Structure 1
Amino acid sequence: MLHEILFSLSGHPSPLLRSAASPGNETDNTLINSTAISPPERALLASLARLSDLHIHLQTAASHIAASHPSVICRAVAFAIDTLHLAGFRRKVVEVERTILKEDAALVGPYRIVPLTAVVAEFEGWGRRLEWLRRVVDVVDKETCTGAGVIDFLRGELLTGYGDVEELAESLVAVAEAAWVKQVAAWVLYGRVPGFGEGDFFVKRRKREDGDGEGNATEEYICEPGLLPGFVTPATAASMLFIGRSLNQIRTKSVEDYSLRGNDHLSTQLTRLAELRHPIDSAAFARTTADIRQFLSRTTLQRLLPLSKVLETLQLLRDFFLLGRGEFAMALTQQADEKIRSRWKRMENLAYEKREGLGNVTIKEGEVAAVLAKTWAAMGSMQGEHADEDEGLEVARELLRLTMAKSKASTPGTHSTEGGLTAIATTPFRNLLFSVPVVMTMQIPSPLDLFLSQADLETYTAINSYLLSLRRANIRLTDLWKITSLRRHHPAPPGPPYGSTRGGREKVHLFRQRHAARTRILRNAWATASAAIFFLGEMEGYLQTEVVAGLSDGFHRWLITGEDEQRHDDGTFKKTQTSTVSRSRYSDEILEDDIWLAGSTPSQPPSLSASEEQTHPHHDPQTLATAHRLYLRTLVHRLLLTQQSFTDELYELLVQIDHLVAVIRRLHSVWTAADLETDAGVVDAFVDLEREERDVQKEIRGVEGRVKQGIEGLVGELRRLEGLGGLQNGTEMGGLGEGVEDGEVLGMGGSGKYVTRRVGGINRLLMKLDFGSWFGREGRGGDGMDVDEEF
């Protein structure tokens, strides 16, 4: 009987022990029957039978998990349960058997009697351990169980009141974390996703469509937060993702660039990971990851992503996405308007013969790309013989794309592993350039994607559509003054000798009456257009000169010198002294005077020699990416792009301004046709010019009122935002804390860290937007408003 008990405890099922432990299963065996085993002995045998069952179940389940589970970490935990803890239980069984065979007095009594209570006492505590191990196996045995889930479960089990269970949990935590660290080591030291257990790793490969409009699919790596253990912070996860992506870049580039080869020295950092103690402390793991990232940046990434390349890219984004080069916005607007007018003219010629041809007025993808190509040609012609010297224009020609948005673009939002960006208002400014969704995008070549992400590019695209729509409306309004016949006598009165005759004087009198009547008709329209130009000009001046230029200069200065501004005790700022190289190469005073004048000159991409780069502070690419996201987030807030109520009203005003420009141009074409009919006898039998003129004049009156209401509503909305105080104080209604406070939140405060400038302030804009009594008075008819008096 004793041998059968020990044999069963060692992992072999025994029907004899099980039947002896069960009171309802007596057998005919004379050794084991209801009279031979007393109830107390039966209870003792039941506890031993429970241990045997648990041992057999754990052994079977652990072997199955170790052989078939898709997670490497789960396999490691199951293997440790079998080879460490169940093996320890089997060693205990052998030790008890050895003690009995040696007739040790600790178990064997007089007459070689072995008390059953003494045998059961030897296994005291193992029941609790095996029950806990069964809980672990039940958790791990699920196919949906992940390595991160097992680690979090085991770390939670450390908080127990039993010392023996805590020791088991610590040993399994060490095994699980060691297996996870080995996977991490393959990624952060060699840039490789583990070949086995890839589905359980937090880094995933994903195919994405490039933004070049050509449908080229590329592979990128993303982080899956659900597969990360709880002790890994989002910032640490972003660092690990960055390190692995960088090593992938290095491995790809090393095929062509021999200077990037020989990165095996990164294996020396393996000791940093091996020195981690289990359970892993979150702060210690973050420091280790940061040290590996800094080591990689000092040894390799400085050659892969030099500062001059970063400055060149940021200058490109500043010039063309943020409209630092004013001629780009002007040329693009003119080419787009020309394309729209040419399409409508062609449709008008087909209208009478083929009415269904009007359905083809929609702009197509190829025409949008052709508009951008003509824009580059127009900008080159502006510079004349020096066009080939503009390197920034050549780089932009290669990387920038103007494409139609095939689907509704996702608003840039918060990414937990990469810092994130604040959600941008969904107002469709991208619809204004061609009346269809068109966006400016850019290819992100390697290795620029180390600090410039797709979410950053989407933010630049949204800002570009917003700023370009404002600039386009201003250009279209000012182009009305180029229509000479609307604001001057046209045609000119006949000169002598015919002008001195009676017929000549009558014609002069007729021309003067016609011009005076048309001037009275358009007087309010000119006043409204002047007010809109004034509003748009002040808005652009505020957004471009104070917000965009201020933040861009601050970020650029930080890249060059490592510092931007210092705070006085009274809360104001002063600029730090930059080096001689940065002062001579980069002049900020030009932008402070006239941002459009600075943008009109051919801007050369900033470049630094190797000796100059050594004198400048070296920024870790991930630190650079984090600072860049902080810069973009502040820029989005300061441009008011997070205020849906403001952007919606602004979009409606821009639509009404387009309508005003269209009806004024339509009225001009009607007057031109009427002059041809009156003066030259050219009659269009299909058009009633007098009726159409009355309809257009009536429509002009309505559009004038809507433009005025739109300007008044926007000024009121700005006053409301100023009253909330969020934008002015840097809190953005609880959205963004700017300045030092925001830098501290992101871990970027202190010496040498990027801190955004405190720029803008709606009160500064509102002081300029003073329309006098224009909003308070009612319209007084055709000649009731004096343009010079009001504006």
Structure 2
Amino acid sequence: MLHEILLSLSGHPSPLLRNISSSSSPQASSSNPDIATSAGILTPPERALLASLAELSDLHVGLKAATAQIAASHPSVICRAVASAIDAIHLAAFQRKVLAVEAALLRGDAALVGAHRIVPLTALVGEFDDGCWRRVLGFLAGVVRFMESKGVEERGGGGAGPKVMDMLRAELQTGYADVERAAGELVAVAERAWLKQVSAWVLYGRVGGPGEGDFFVRVELGEDGEQEYVCESGLLPCFVTSATAASMLFIGRSLNHIRALSARDYSLRGNDHLSTQLTRLAALKHPIDAATFSNAITKIRHFLSRTTLQRLLPLSKVLETLNLLRDFFLLRRGEFAMALTQQAEEKIKSRWKRAENLAHERRDTLGNVTMKEGEVATVLAKTWAAMGSMQGEHAEDDEGLELARDLLRLTISKSRTSRPLTPAVTEGGFGAIAPTPFRNLLFSIPVVLTLQLPSPLDLFLSQTDLQTYTAINSYLLSLRRAHIRLTDLWKVTALRRHHPAPPSPQTGSTRGGREQTLLYRQRHTVRSNALRNAWATASAAIFFLGELEGYLQTEVVAGLSDGFHAWLTTSEDEQRQGKATSKMPLNLPLDETSHTNNGQGDTWVSAAPSSPTPSTTPSSSSSSTPPSGTQTQPHDPQTLSIAHRAYLRILVHRLLLSQQSFTDPLYELLVQIDHLVALIHRLQAVWAAADLEADMGVVDAFVDLAREERDVQGEIRGVERRVKQGIEGLIAELRRLEGSGALLDPGGMDDGLGDREGTLADWGSYVPRRVGGVDRLLMKLDFGSWFGRGRGDDDGVEPEL
């Protein structure tokens, strides 16, 4: 019997202990002969004593079978490692316990063997009935059931490893020391298996292979057919933060870029792995601490940036790209917006003329007006030619213009929405870019300016960043286009002067000449009075657009861009040095500040000049010499990418592009301005035809010029009213947004930074500069009497323009 019990505890199924707890049931005993036999051999007290051993036997047998099955066929490498560890460590320890008890019985140990070599059953049961093994084996059975559950094995086992790791780390909080020790050993095994996948990715840039479903990096095919690496946040273990995952994704993507470029550049060969950094991952202690793991990944990223990425993506290349985006997407080069608007207007006019010429032959004028992809690209090519002619002989020396020719493209947007929701504008506490279709205004079809992203630059810029730049460009370009179209009205000489001109003095001195001159003057007076309100409305709209553009370009775009450029050209070491220097007490001499830190000298302060103070020499922090042994390094590409996204988020917010309650009325105003300009040009064409009919006798029998003139003037008066109401509504919306605090920078950016540089923070992180508020714009937009009726005038009389 003792032999049968020990064999059963060793993992061999035994009829003696199998379902011994069920032997007390008569129905179970009659249906199972093994149970009936054991019920006849064992007395009820013996069955009660052996119930705990039967439970241990069942747990051991079940664990051996389940762990063997998982280790052989489970798709998750981490689950296989955990199952193998359960069998090799914990079940082996239980087997050694059984062997130790058997050895004690064979030696006749007095603790188990009594007189006449009688072994009390209570003594044997006492060796295993202390509760320790029951808790440990029960915990291991729970782990096995968790790995076998359908929720863990969904998608072919994908994500099972991280879920098991999180479950085991949660079990470390138990109050039993033996369970905590077992969970800690399994956590270490699971994390080592996971770190092998991490090492393959962050040290060699390789993903896939056995157990790829456990790793958070996924390979997808982009729109251009190239491989893209994305992060699946649901596969991240609990100790991996989103920032750490972004760093790991960046490191692996960089290594793959280097491997791809090394096929063409021999100088990059041999730099596609970081095997020297393996010790950082091997030195991690289990369970892995989130801060320690993040620090190790950060050091690996910095090592990669110092050794390889500085050659692959130097700071000069980043600055060149940012200047390109600033010049052409954010319209720092005003001649680009002017030339593009003029070329687009000429193309649209030529399309309409062609449609009118073919209208009498074919009734497909709409198809003739619709722009094609090639025609849109031709407009951009003519824009480059126009900009080159503006610069004359200096056009060839403009490297920015040549780079823009190579990388910028003007294309027809295929998507129906304004732009998708992107992380560049959804993170940080404020919403997505408003879906107002500003891109429809240039050609009356959705046209966007895009950038062909070269291979190394996608380490710093993402497609979502380019989409944000495209949306901002459409927004700013629509404002500039409306401003240009309104100011071009003053270039139409026939609308501002006598046309045709009065007769010459010789002819004008005659009676017929005087009558003709009087007729011309009366005609000019009537037409001038008819357009008086239209000119006043256009002037007011020009003023509104000019002030709005000035605020957006000077206050917002220029301020934020200059602050980001200042941070970009300042190394992290210089920023830390400036941060430490800025914390010195300003009322103490420089030689006394060394005693402010509990008597310990400040290395940063001692390296600074002794005479000037930081308040009198702002550049002292950047010009002082860092401590010996400190190397000044520029920002690594991922830090630049994170800072650039923060810059774009605050830029979108400050440009009011995230406020749909402002952008929608602004779009309607721009549409009404286009309508007003078109009607004025149409009225000028009607007047020219009337002059030909009255003065030259050229008659068009198919057109009633007098009726058309009345209709156009009536439409102009309606558009004037809508333009005025649109400007009033936008100013009211700006007052509402400014009063409600909706324009305050989220995340504590409006915390009293004032107009200082705002680019130095702990550990060199980027803090956007605080730019001017909307109250300055509202002060300039206070028209006085022109909008007086909307603020309390109740006389019912339309203000005179």
Same-fold call, TM cutoff 0.5? yes
Task: Judge which range, 542-551 or 498-507, deviates more.
Answer: 498-507
Higher relative contact order (CA 8 A, sep 6+): 1
Question: Given that residues 413 and 422 in structure 1 are in contact (C-alpha distance below 8 angstroms), is that contact kept between their aligned partners in structure 2?
Answer: no
Q: 1:243 aligns with which of 251, 267, 282?
A: 251
Residues 668, 416 of structure 1: alpha-carbon distance in 2 compared, 3 angstrom cutoff: closer
* Paired amino acid for 1:246: S
Cα distance between partner residues in 2 of 1:11 and 1:230 = 36
SS of 2:762 mapped into structure 1: coil
The match for 2:740 is 724
Cα distance between partner residues in 2 of 1:771 and 1:419 = 36
Question: Given that residues 255 and 273 in structure 2 are in contact (C-alpha distance below 8 angstroms), is that contact kept between their aligned partners in structure 1?
Answer: no
1:758 has 2:770 as partner: yes
The offset of 1:265, in angstroms, is 7.4
Question: Given that residues 341 and 442 in structure 2 are in contact (C-alpha distance below 8 angstroms), is that contact kept between their aligned partners in structure 1?
Answer: yes
Question: Given that residues 49 and 122 in structure 2 are in contact (C-alpha distance below 8 angstroms), is that contact kept between their aligned partners in structure 1?
Answer: yes
Question: Given that residues 428 and 747 in structure 2 are in contact (C-alpha distance below 8 angstroms), is that contact kept between their aligned partners in structure 1?
Answer: no
Cα distance between partner residues in 1 of 2:780 and 2:501 = 39
The offset of 1:739, in angstroms, is 7.0
Aligned residues: 739
1:226 has 2:234 as partner: yes
The match for 1:606 is none
Cα distance between partner residues in 1 of 2:74 and 2:516 = 98
* Paired amino acid for 2:640: L
SS of 2:484 mapped into structure 1: helix
1:479 has 2:488 as partner: yes
Cα distance between partner residues in 1 of 2:296 and 2:762 = 21
Cα distance between partner residues in 2 of 1:634 and 1:18 = 70
Cα distance between partner residues in 2 of 1:575 and 1:760 = 25
Task: Judge which range, 195-204 or 554-563, deviates more.
Answer: 554-563
Q: Report matched runs for 1:361-372 at 5 Å.
A: 361-372=369-380
Cα distance between partner residues in 2 of 1:224 and 1:517 = 70
The offset of 1:686, in angstroms, is 2.0
The offset of 1:755, in angstroms, is 2.6
The offset of 1:468, in angstroms, is 0.5
The match for 1:276 is 284
The offset of 1:31, in angstroms, is 11
Q: Deviations over 1:504-552 (max 9, x none)?
A: 2222221111111110000000000000000100111111112111111
Residues 579, 693 of structure 1: alpha-carbon distance in 2 compared, 3 angstrom cutoff: farther
Q: 1:149 aligns with which of 150, 160, 163?
A: 163
Question: Given that residues 561 and 617 in structure 1 are in contact (C-alpha distance below 8 angstroms), is that contact kept between their aligned partners in structure 2?
Answer: no
The match for 1:303 is 311
Q: 2:688 aligns with which of 672, 684, 688?
A: 672
Question: Structure 1 length as normaliser, TM-score?
Answer: 0.88
Q: Report matched runs for 1:108-507 at 5 Å.
A: 108-124=113-129, 125-142=132-149, 143-144=153-154, 145-209=159-223, 216-263=224-271, 266-407=274-415, 408-414=417-423, 422-507=431-516
Unaligned segments of structure 2, at least 5 residues: 587-614, 624-629
Cα distance between partner residues in 2 of 1:372 and 1:113 = 102
* Paired amino acid for 1:126: W
Task: Judge which range, 556-565 or 495-504, deviates more.
Answer: 556-565
The match for 1:592 is none
Cα distance between partner residues in 2 of 1:140 and 1:652 = 59
The match for 1:549 is 558
Q: 2:666 aligns with which of 650, 656, 664?
A: 650
Cα distance between partner residues in 2 of 1:37 and 1:748 = 81
The offset of 1:415, in angstroms, is 6.9
Residues 418, 122 of structure 1: alpha-carbon distance in 2 compared, 3 angstrom cutoff: farther
Residues 317, 19 of structure 1: alpha-carbon distance in 2 compared, 3 angstrom cutoff: closer
Q: Deviations over 1:48-79 (max 9, x none)?
A: 22222222222222122222222211221112
Task: Judge which range, 170-179 or 350-359, deviates more.
Answer: 350-359
SS of 2:230 mapped into structure 1: strand
Task: Judge which range, 241-250 or 37-46, deviates more.
Answer: 37-46
SS of 2:220 mapped into structure 1: strand
Q: 2:79 aligns with which of 74, 80, 100?
A: 74
Cα distance between partner residues in 2 of 1:313 and 1:323 = 14
Residues 501, 540 of structure 1: alpha-carbon distance in 2 compared, 3 angstrom cutoff: same
Cα distance between partner residues in 2 of 1:264 and 1:631 = 31
Q: Deviations over 1:633-677 (max 9, x none)?
A: 121121111222111121111111111111111111111111122
SS of 1:221 mapped into structure 2: strand
The offset of 1:328, in angstroms, is 0.6
* Paired amino acid for 1:469: S
The match for 1:629 is 645
Cα distance between partner residues in 1 of 2:632 and 2:41 = 91
Question: Given that residues 419 and 471 in structure 2 are in contact (C-alpha distance below 8 angstroms), is that contact kept between their aligned partners in structure 1?
Answer: no
* Paired amino acid for 1:37: L
Question: Given that residues 460 and 637 in structure 2 are in contact (C-alpha distance below 8 angstroms), is that contact kept between their aligned partners in structure 1?
Answer: yes
Cα distance between partner residues in 2 of 1:721 and 1:6 = 80
SS of 1:355 mapped into structure 2: coil
Residues 115, 529 of structure 1: alpha-carbon distance in 2 compared, 3 angstrom cutoff: same
Cα distance between partner residues in 1 of 2:569 and 2:424 = 28
Q: 1:638 aligns with which of 651, 654, 670?
A: 654
1:772 has 2:779 as partner: no
1:53 has 2:67 as partner: no
Q: Deviations over 1:473-493 (max 9, x none)?
A: 000101111111011111111
The offset of 1:501, in angstroms, is 2.4
Q: Deviations over 1:63-113 (max 9, x none)?
A: 222222222112211121122112222222222222222222222222222
The match for 1:602 is none
Task: Judge which range, 26-35 or 338-347, deviates more.
Answer: 26-35
Q: 1:88 aligns with which of 71, 93, 98?
A: 93
SS of 1:105 mapped into structure 2: coil
SS of 1:14 mapped into structure 2: coil
The match for 1:11 is 11
Question: Given that residues 421 and 629 in structure 1 are in contact (C-alpha distance below 8 angstroms), is that contact kept between their aligned partners in structure 2?
Answer: no
Q: Deviations over 1:275-322 (max 9, x none)?
A: 111111111111111111111111111111111101100000000100
Task: Judge which range, 23-32 or 690-699, deviates more.
Answer: 23-32
Residues 190, 576 of structure 1: alpha-carbon distance in 2 compared, 3 angstrom cutoff: farther
Cα distance between partner residues in 2 of 1:740 and 1:274 = 45
1:690 has 2:722 as partner: no
* Paired amino acid for 1:175: V
Question: Given that residues 676 and 716 in structure 2 are in contact (C-alpha distance below 8 angstroms), is that contact kept between their aligned partners in structure 1?
Answer: yes
Question: Given that residues 551 and 759 in structure 1 are in contact (C-alpha distance below 8 angstroms), is that contact kept between their aligned partners in structure 2?
Answer: yes
Percent of counterpart pairs with the same letter? 69
Cα distance between partner residues in 2 of 1:8 and 1:416 = 64
SS of 1:220 mapped into structure 2: strand
Unaligned segments of structure 1, at least 5 residues: 210-215, 582-613
SS of 2:286 mapped into structure 1: coil
Question: Structure 2 length as normaliser, TM-score?
Answer: 0.87
The offset of 1:735, in angstroms, is 6.3
The offset of 1:32, in angstroms, is 4.7
Cα distance between partner residues in 1 of 2:512 and 2:35 = 147
Question: Given that residues 269 and 292 in structure 1 are in contact (C-alpha distance below 8 angstroms), is that contact kept between their aligned partners in structure 2?
Answer: yes
Cα distance between partner residues in 2 of 1:30 and 1:314 = 81
The match for 1:558 is 567
Cα distance between partner residues in 1 of 2:55 and 2:617 = 77
Task: Judge which range, 496-505 or 464-473, deviates more.
Answer: 496-505
User: Where does structure 1 differ by over 3 angstroms across 4 or more consecutive aligned residues?
Assistant: 26-36, 409-422, 561-570, 573-581, 614-617, 738-742, 777-780, 783-787
SS of 1:773 mapped into structure 2: helix
* Paired amino acid for 1:112: R
Cα distance between partner residues in 1 of 2:8 and 2:631 = 75
Cα distance between partner residues in 2 of 1:42 and 1:748 = 76
* Paired amino acid for 2:81: A
Residues 418, 167 of structure 1: alpha-carbon distance in 2 compared, 3 angstrom cutoff: farther
